[in-house]
Amino acid sequence: MTSPAAELVAGIGLDIDPELLVLALTHRSFAHEAGGIPTNERLEFLGDTVLGLVVTEALYRRHPDLPEGDLAKMRAATVSQRALARIARTLRLGDYVLLGKGETHSGGADKDSILSDTLEAIFGAAYLCHGLEPARALVERLVDPTLERAADLGAGLDWKTSLQERAAVLGLGAPQYVSEAEGPDHARRFTATVMLDGSAYGVGQGAAKKHAEQDAAEAAYRALESVTERS
């Protein structure tokens, strides 16, 4: 019978040291309940950097005529929390991530924030095990569909700009972002809330403030879309 770990490695398509794989799957809620064992946050920090480098270089090479601003928007759409969570779901990462009882009962295995963080930790583990080139191949294989769509994502290329434009049309004024950070410097977690006309319209989380704000802007943009559709 194939072990769950073997099934996950087969889905990833790259062997990862068993101990590093377990670490990459260890959410802080599980680590806390297990007596303070190491979490996947350091691997996530490393994987976020690997992901950013690979995606930035791929966009630079694939779109030689695009200006920096367009490339930055395409990168933001590609590495967004929601985009990474969609990839994580294709690997069924939620079936393997180690969660505490509270997170398990609250549906943590399908939360965008946990899935995207775990995927980044997998990228970090792949880099430590094999170096940059095999890790690059893994990242490109998994994110390539999103990269191919990036030029046609419309509003999703820069949710903050799109939200600002839609809010102006609706007379809600300029979006205001309220951000909070928790955790040590090497594993900081950001939560951003978008305020429009004094009300909260979207919340996002991420390992970087800019990612949290982009995800919050997307949530707010979609909330405004639903309001417009009902009116």
Asked about 48 being catalytic, the answer comes back as yes
CA separation for the pair 45, 73 (Å, rounded): 21
- DSSP β-bridge partners for residue 199: 196
DSSP helix/strand/coil, 190: strand
Active-site residue among 44, 112, 117, 120?
120
Asked about 215 being catalytic, the answer comes back as no
CA separation for the pair 231, 226 (Å, rounded): 9
What's the angle, vertex CA 190, arms to CA 185 and CA 195, rounded to 5? 145
Number of other residues whose CB lies within 10 A of the CB of residue 131: 10
Q: Any residues with CB less than 8 A from the CB of 216 and at least 6 apart, and which?
A: 177, 192, 193, 194, 202, 203, 204
Active-site residue among 48, 117, 215, 218?
48
Q: What residues are annotated to the active site?
A: 48, 120
